[in-house]
A and B are shown apart, each in its own frame.
Chain A
Amino acid sequence: MSLRASRLVADIAERMGFLLPVGELPDDISCTGWLRVVVPWSGPDGSAGSVEVCAEAQLAQTLACNILAREAGEVSAEDAETALGELANVIAGNLLPQLYGNDHEFHLATPSSQAGCCQGRREAAVEFMEGRLVVSVAATVHNTRLLRRGAQKDDGGR
């Protein structure tokens, strides 16, 4: 897990949803029972994968309230899932270039809510005043340039 990625996620959630970050969480934190949104992506030369965002229900509900400028009782569970989906979309759009470089084009599909815990490599885990959120990236990487970039990132992080 990367502190840089956690800071990116905290900044996006704060700017977009007015959530207040408290600090980074341990990377082995369980997200069982949380909401989960998956954003499939495709990149250069057949590379593909998904960015997954899991968040506690309270965080997603507060996010929806803040985005829609409504009170807590005025947003539905669907609003909360939609809000988390859009946050996941913005996180994916910003995180993939951070991981693989902004000389590649990534195409994001529509976010969807799915059951279960985040799959893939944990990239960020952040605690907010409003609840906890983790982000992981699963990649089916067939692109040697992306692989090389990922390896360089891993080496640099040690």
Chain B
Amino acid sequence: MAFRVLIVDDNRLMRDMVKRSVELSGLEISCVDMANDGREALEKLRAAWYDLVLLDINMPVMNGEQFLQALRSDLALRDTLVIVVSTESSVPRIARLRELGAGFVHKPFTPEELIAAVRALLARPPIASRGETP
């Protein structure tokens, strides 16, 4: 499976860095696209199909947690794979993100850690079949 990846981060250098990590991870990629914040990411997801979203948390306009809540409330998008790529260390907040079905990679990270998170996420059943409420 070749992945269409959407990287969501308000920092252009970090978007480039995440993109390079994706390319170095060994993951088969057919497309990498970028969004500056959660709102722009939702617009892109409604306009085109993406298999995987790599998501920052601290962003202006719509932050990562707000984006995840909106994504899981959207029947057409709720099964989208999301990995949070963040400095977030708060145990309660990470638990909330995991409850929303997201994988987690802590910044700074290596390409190996990223691919491990993707594999762990792929091994899980889709959101809808887990009976989770958005």
Contact = CB atoms under 8 A, between A and B. Distances in A.
Given A82-B11, A93-B86, A93-B88, A105 B93 contact: yes
Contact of A69 (B20, B91, B93, B108): B20
Given A82-B12, A108-B58, A102 B108 contact: no
Decide if the interface of chain B is mainly helix, strand, loop or mixed: loop
B87 A105 contact: no
Interface of A: 12, 15-16, 64, 67-69, 79, 82-83, 85-86, 89-90, 92-94, 96-97, 102-110
Contacts of A105: 90, 92-93
Interface of B: 10-14, 16-17, 20, 58, 60, 86-93, 107-110
Given A103-B92, A105-B92, A110-B60, A86 B87 contact: no
**Residue of B12, B88, B89, B92 most packed against chain A (CB within 10 A):** B89
Contact of B90 (A92, A104, A110): A104
**Residue of B12, B86, B107, B108 most packed against chain A (CB within 10 A):** B108
Contacts of B107: 16, 90, 93
Contacts of A106: 90
A102 B109 CA distance: 19
Contacts of A83: 13
Nearest to A91: B87
Nearest to B107: A90
A93 B89 contact: yes
Given A15-B108, A67-B13, A89-B11, A94 B60 contact: no
A97 B86 CA distance: 14
A149 to B, nearest CB: 14
Contacts of A102: 89-91
